[in-house]
A and B are shown apart, each in its own frame.
Chain A
Amino acid sequence: MKLQQLSLFLENRPGRLDAPLEAIAAEGINILTLSLADTAQFGILRLIVREWDKAKRVLEQAGWVVNLTEVVAVDVLDRPGGLATVLKILDGAGLNIEYMYAYSLRRGDKAILIFRFEDPDRAIQVLLDQGLHVVDGDELMSVAAA
């Protein structure tokens, strides 16, 4: 149920996203979602793609420093208090969220959030126990295709 997320280092200057995204597109790899965390000096681009191993190879060969992390996608009701409910569950179980971002597409009245946990396996267990829906890779791809 875990998703493989690629992160790469980018300097903070205009147009810096173009080159890595073009490199991936040129190989016919679909980007499911991306998020950028940045400071004045640099940014970390986080990508979820269909063929992460191929994308990683392509990016590394083009000279980027890439790392691979496991993240968890969760369905959250897209209305006031929807996110708060999930955070409360995680907090109650003592699970640390390193960071989170929203998946670019939504599904009906649900938004999909991507979480980076210190301990993804336990997080998944807690979320499932509480009746939340953890979205796996195939499902995420079907949302993208719809």
Chain B
Amino acid sequence: MPVPNPSPDPSPDWSSEHPIWNPTAETLPRAAREALQLERLRALVGRVARVPFYRDLFAHREIGPHSIRSLADLRRLPFTTKDDMRRQHPLGFLAVPRRDLARIHGSSGTTGKPTFVAYTAGDLRIWSELCARFLVAGGLRPEHTTQVAFGYGLFTGGFGLHYGIERVGATVIPAAAGNTRRQIEIMRDLDPEVLICTPSYALTIADAARELGMDPRALPIRFGHFGGEPWTEDMRREIEDQLDIAAFNNYGLSEVIGPGVSGECAARTGMHLQEDHFLVECLDPETLEPVPEGEPGELVITTLTREAMPMIRYRTRDIARLYREPCPCGRTTTRMSRVAGRTDDMLIIRGVNVFPSQIEEALLRVEGTTPHYLIEVSRPGTLDEVHVKVEIHPEIFSDRMDRMQAVCERISREIQTVAGIRAHVDLVEPRSIERFVGKARRVLDTRGLSERDS
């Protein structure tokens, strides 16, 4: 992952070109923010005593507001997992009486049953404020028209962004997801400057425009805020190139609020976390110890202000890096990288945590490698061995053996740099790696199998 490297000298008119929605909150000096976080954390620990799950855990560990003397005491608090939420289905995590709820959303689970997330009227006000912050950071102005092609419904994306745009004072077209031809017709009729959807849907829109015989670059959209699924820098370049727009990333998850946890500013050096409302830790998913700044780890989020369903140290299973050095935009908040993977995808190779996305990133650095690769992990003796199969491509093929070996070594070096492991690179014939519809299978880990065999 490229380490954000903001220019040390922002242009003098940066602030007038790039306004900040809530300057007080977003440019708070660190000490002031930490004092605010500490006060809110202490109050939170008192408030969650109304949730049986936390009440029991806290009673067992003798934890109360008195236990929180500094922000470091956060580490004395227990974690909350998605499984904990499932066990409290449907609304066991409510910290307010049911009558105080204003809205209930849900996250789609792979198991079928949604996990419900409840909001008070106060939660909804904060949520739209948080969406307004990243929308403005990424260029939204009151005079803009915005097409929201996110799903409206239990999914938090549609309504979250909708009210954020209204909060800014811009115009919303709630087009909702799907019916791509109609999306394009709406764009041609109403000239929205801004598009909101998942990154993959942005590319679907570009494809559909071409199928209709139109140039997607000629559509009125000038920039877009994309989220709701992990994506890569490569995909950003694709979207920006195909639609001739600027593409901004934002992050959130319904378990803690929905979109609005963080989002990019115009400097695009990571997504600014809204730290007056969330305490964000970056931990090694195995040891649960903090990782050094700038290293990848699992994001663990504590909601400081949520009323209906506060979360203590919620394990997002999302892997990202945190950067605390100042951003040229003037915001003082910590920034997070793109989500580089899920802890579920993590491989532990000779004690090193490795994500398939890191291998992909290493391959992207070598021109002419295809996006088709397979990571094979085995343990022939006592040590783990990694083979990365990469399909040959005309750009890297040569009739000279020394050049071919140099390509393998180059890929191997990039993998060592990005992922910190030594891998054997096996070039394979075109189309020899199995194609999957939807989510590709990138890893073949036979270590467990060989253990069972022996």
Query: A98 contacts B392, CB within 8 Å?
Result: no
| B side interface size, CB within 8 A | 18
A10 cross-chain contacts in B, Cβ below 8 A:
429
A41 and B399 in contact (CB under 8 A), knowing A9-B392, A65-B392, A65-B394? no
For B428, list chain A residues within 8 Å (CB). Answer: 11, 42
Instruction: Name the distance in Å between A137's Cβ and chain B's nearest Cβ.
Output: 18
Cα A72 to Cα B272 in complex, Å, equals 61
Check if A65 sits within 8 Å of B400, measured CB to CB. no
Identify which of residues 390-419 in chain B touch chain A, using a CB-to-CB cut-off of 8 Å.
Answer: 392-394, 397-401, 404-405, 408
B426 within 8 A of A: yes
Q: Does B430 lie at the interface of the complex (its beta carbon under 8 Å from any beta carbon of A)?
A: yes
A9–B400 alpha-carbon span in the complex (Å): 11
Would you call A65 and B431 a contact (CB within 8 A)?
A: no
Beta-carbon contacts under 8 Å, B140-169 to A = none
Chain B: minimal CB distance from A39 (Å): 7
- Pairwise interchain contact B401-A11, C-beta atoms closer than 8 A: no
**CB distance B429 to A11 under 8 Å?**
yes
Choose from A5, A63, A67 the contact partner of B398 (Cβ within 8 Å): A67
- For A44, A63, A69, the residue with the greatest tally of chain B CB atoms inside 10 Å of its CB is A44
Flag if A65 contacts B430 (CB, 8 Å).
yes
User: Within 8 Å CB of B173, what residues of A?
Assistant: none
- Asked whether any CB of chain A lies closer than 8 Å to the CB of B432, the reply is yes
B432 touches A11 (CB 8 A): yes
- Chain B residues whose CB sits within 8 angstroms of the CB of A44 once the complex forms: 399, 401, 404
| Residues of chain A within 8 A of B427, CB atoms compared | 9, 11, 41-42
Q: Chain B, 38-55, contact with A by CB distance < 8 Å: what is the 0/1 string?
A: 000000000000000000
Query: Helix, strand, loop or mixed for chain A's interface?
Result: strand
Residues of A within 8 A of B431 (CB): 63
A residues 28-59 in Cβ contact with B at 8 Å: 37, 39, 41-42, 44, 46
Classify chain A: how many residues form its interface, as a range.
Answer: 10 to 19
Q: How far is the CB of A3 from chain B (nearest CB, A)?
A: 13
Chain A contacts for B400, CB-based, 8 A: 98-99, 116
Q: Report chain B residues within 8 Å CB of A42.
A: 392, 404, 426-428
| Chain B residues, Cβ within 8 Å of A63 | 429-431
Contact of B399 among A11, A39, A64, A69 (CB under 8 A): A69
**A63 to B399, alpha carbons, bound, how many Å?**
17
**Who on chain A is nearest to B431 by CB?**
A63
Chain B residues, Cβ within 8 Å of A99:
400-401
* Residues A67 and B429 in contact in the complex (CB < 8 Å), given A9-B392, A39-B405, A44-B404: no
Give B426's nearest chain A residue, CB to CB: A41
Chain B residues positioned under 8 Å from A37 (CB to CB): 401
Could you tell me the distance between the alpha carbons of A56 and B299 in the complex, rounded to whole angstroms?
52
Q: Are A67 and B397 in contact (CB under 8 A)?
A: yes
Partner of A67, one of B399, B405, B408, B432: B399
Whether B397 lies near A65 (C-beta < 8 A) is yes
Residues 41-93 of A at the B interface (beta carbon under 8 Å)? 41-42, 44, 46, 63-65, 67, 69
Q: Which 4 A-B residue pairs are closest in the complex by CB-CB distance?
A: A7-B399, A9-B392, A65-B397, A69-B399
A–B pairs, 24, beta carbons within 8 Å: A7-B399, A10-B429, A11-B427, A11-B429, A37-B401, A39-B401, A41-B408, A42-B404, A42-B426, A42-B427, A44-B404, A63-B429, A63-B430, A63-B431, A64-B430, A65-B394, A65-B429, A67-B398, A67-B399, A69-B399, A99-B400, A99-B401, A116-B399, A116-B400
14 new A-B contacts, CB < 8 A, other than A7-B399, A41-B408, A44-B399, are: A5-B399, A7-B398, A10-B429, A37-B401, A42-B404, A42-B426, A46-B399, A63-B430, A64-B429, A65-B430, A67-B399, A69-B399, A98-B400, A116-B400
Which residue numbers of B lie inside 8 Å of A, CB to CB? 392-394, 397-401, 404-405, 408, 426-432
